[in-house]
Amino acid sequence: MRPVGVARHRDGRIVGAALPPAVGCTRTLLQHEVAGVGLAHEIANGTPCRAAPFRPGRALRMIRLQSDGAVLEIDPVRGGRLASLRIDGRELLVTPPDAEDRSIFWGSFPMAPWAGRIDGAALDWEGAHYDLPPGDGRNAIHGVVYDREWTVEHAGEAEAVLSCALGAGGWPLGGSVRQRIRLAPDGLVAAAEVEAERSMPAVIGWHPWLLRGPGDARVRVEAAATLETEELIPTGRRVAVDDITDLRDGPLLGTRLLDHVYPDPVPPAIVEWPDLKLQIGFAAPITTLVVHSRPTAFCVEPQTAWPNAPALAAAGVPGTGLKVLRPGECLHAEMTWSWRATARRG
């Protein structure tokens, strides 16, 4: 993997290691090395997959990847998101309610160039004020690509690469995001990369909607604090976990209705149903997990920075994870999932 913490242009020239960590643009996520947590041999050794016949750049309604008993569907038209993940016939994700829905309430979608909420849908950057597209009342939420059509650059039997321009979704500073998704019988890797055209703040995250059943789910997050929020916007203050938010022992979700930011978690996060165990692996620059739960579904969201990170960082709050990219620089992050069947609890 490329070293984290060194900023490079595409020609490889180091331009600013003093900046918050950024990495050089790969230009080919297909060749990016992955370091998964408990992933299959196929991922670790980069086994090539047979390309499906398609024209690069053509809009596909759904991309289907398969590796033995794992079947993954990717919707390039509605946010380049994972629309379905079936493991031996068992669905893990909340699937779309209909053929047109582009909301934030299903699948697993990448978040860029910010994750979570931006207070007042306002960005103040380098002396200029920008209005962002509101998506949650008065706030902007989850970036600008979750409802956009992505370009399919590659689609194979077990791997796909997609890209999307940030400006088309309403991001005023331009740039682009690319993602690479690779499936194996017992895991997947999702890698994403934001490239800047001009100086900009950058965040990458993933927002998976996981089904609560069959049976309730246990969630383990090794973190001793959450962020204090006001109307779901972090204030910058950390508070110790309590009986509801402490997930270090992997409790049943039960009646917990969470929408909490966990800074500096120790990987992996672990989800366990009565019949299946899922590890969500991550490493720097991912420094934050958001856990959100509802009666029938829940989310465990790895991201490289806190919600509202640009405003908090500008106010001098430390530890937000926000990265600043110069023109031509990239921020790269990876999320890995690995799963295995478990004995059903009595």
- Domains of the chain and any CATH numbers: 29-339 (2.70.98.10)
Q: Is the pLDDT confidence value at 2 over 80?
A: no
pLDDT, position 56: 53
Tell me what percent of the residues of the chain surpass a pLDDT of 70. Answer: 82
* pLDDT, position 214: 86
- The 10s digit of each residue's pLDDT in 168-227 is 999 999 999 999 999 999 999 999 999 999 999 999 999 999 999 888 999 999 999 999
> pLDDT tens for residues 278-319?
999 999 999 999 999 999 999 999 999 999 999 999 999 999
Average pLDDT, the chain: 86
Q: What is the pLDDT of residues 245-263, one digit of tens each?
A: 999 999 999 999 999 999 9
Cα 220 to Cα 210: distance, rounded to the nearest angstrom: 14
- C-alpha distances (whole Å) from 305 to each of 41, 98, 107, 223, 309 are 31, 32, 21, 15, 6
Between 23 and 156, the more confident residue is: 156
| Pairing assessment for the beta strands 81-87 and 90-91 based on DSSP bridges | antiparallel
User: Tell me, what's the pLDDT at 59?
Assistant: 53
Over residues 24-40, the mean pLDDT reads 39
- Quote the pTM value: 0.85
Which pLDDT does position 47 carry in this prediction?
A: 30
Tens of pLDDT, residues 67-80? 999 999 999 999 99
Instruction: Output the pLDDT for position 61.
Output: 83
**pLDDT at residue 213, rounded to an integer:** 86
At 12, the pLDDT band (50, 70, 90 cuts) reads very low
Asked if 145 and 203 touch (Cβ cutoff 8 Å), the reply is no
Q: Where are the beta strands (DSSP E) in 273-344?
A: 276-282, 288-293, 297-303, 323-325, 330-341
Confidence of residue 57 (pLDDT cuts 50, 70, 90): low
Nearest to 220 by CA among 249, 260, 181: 249
